[in-house]
Amino acid sequence: MDYKKIYSEKIITFKEAAKKINSGDQVYMGPNNCAPIHLISALCERVNELENVDIYSALLMYPHEFLNLGFKGHINYHTFFLGPIERRMIGFGNVDISSVHFSKANWMVDNVVKPNVALIEATPPDEKGNMNFGPTGAALNEIVLKHAKLVIVQVNKCLPVCLGESNSVNVKDVSFICEKDHPLPELPQPKVTDVDKKIAELILPHIPDGATIQIGLGGIANAVGYGLEEKKDLGIHTEMLTDSMVYLAKKGVINCSKKNHNTNKLVCGFGIGSKELYDFMNKNPLIHVAPIFKVNNPLEVAKNDNFISINTALMVDLTGQVGAEALGYKQFSCTGGALDFVEGASMANNGKSFICLSSTVKSKGEIKSRINVSLLPGTAVTIPRANVQYIVTEYGIADLNNKSIETRVRALIDIAHPDFREELLQQAKEAKLI
């Protein structure tokens, strides 16, 4: 049958689509910039008709109505990576947090989410009837669709067509289709501070020409990313494609020609950032999107020689335990891919992983050290100390790789802010760490 006929037969209104959802359904919703926002809005209008509908997604970029407390019990929201919008609703909203290693996201879908409904966004069909998932859908959509009995797609012409694997669904394999275009949300870039620049300056000499890199978001990440413009023949294997990488690729710094694994391919789980980034991803043969659990698998990461992983943290204790997602019981993000890439880098030939943080933070008008004798009570250990290679502040790089406790303590005190070093030394002695 002609795919155009199949497509037209499956088109329904958003209101009709929302009525297909029943109480008790387990719903997977496309995350961040690939959320079917009009479909979700229609579902939210039925809040008082529904009980215990569970929506699973991550890193929301829209202030969806279901985040409000009044939806709890009717339409519940579960996130496996906390973004700024979700963070604001913690404590007085409708947000349930699961901190998941992205390398194990497939296990989460198979064994925890078990979605019977998928609400996703995609491009209009190509000549074979395949609808592309855009910059984020390849991360999990394919495995979700293996479970979902009801698949409703919002077709959005603004989505870029992203090349790679597990990145499309055919019109014959979806239940219903709704149509509504909208521009993709953009992620504003944070300001790069002088401290960020200093940290970047310390790391850049450790990144050789031809290396394959992974960098996240944030001021430090941008300082490193844009600081790489004098390097040559860099490769990318990262969970997230960012604007700094697009900048380097357009300058020819990133060409992936020296990668020994997936040569000539910029591998990512998803892309998030500016319209320029989305335009760059559109039908670009350099880009290879793939499922996040494959991209983040440490064994897959480790296939890349000269792999450099750069991540950030909120706090580090004097033995090298890294808290990158929470301070005390206050959650800021989730585990995501931090440990995945640290482990992958440690197994790669000539691999290196850097955990970066400013030496201090201002909290309630008071300057506090980010390096402390212990983590705050309740703080999740995102990266165990035995996995850590390098910790970086604006005062230097501490090499903790397989070092003794006393060596670790002294190295971390050396890169703490000078105003706190004497106090930290005394606390370490009292704790009998040295």
Give the Cα separation of 392 and 138 in Å (integer). 33
Provide the token pair at 397: 């790089």
Beta bridge partners of 161: none
Residue (of 270, 272, 263) closest to 289 by Cα position = 270
Residue that is written with structure tokens 């992205």 in the block: 102
Beta bridge partners of 353: 309
Provide the token pair at 309: 């992983």
Beta bridge partners of 54: 26, 76
Q: Known catalytic residue: 239?
A: yes
Do 391 and 320 form a contact (C-beta atoms < 8 A)?
A: yes
Give the Cα separation of 135 and 240 in Å (integer). 10
Give the Cα separation of 355 and 346 in Å (integer). 13
| Sign, Cα dihedral of 191, 81, 273, 258 | positive
Pairing of strands 390-393, 371-372: unpaired
Inter-CA distances, 97 with 40, 69, 296, 378, Å: 20, 15, 20, 15
Do 156 and 123 form a contact (C-beta atoms < 8 A)?
A: yes
Active-site position among 86, 121, 142, 239: 239
Provide the token pair at 112: 């925890």
Pairing of strands 168-170, 130-132: antiparallel
What residues are annotated to the active site? 239
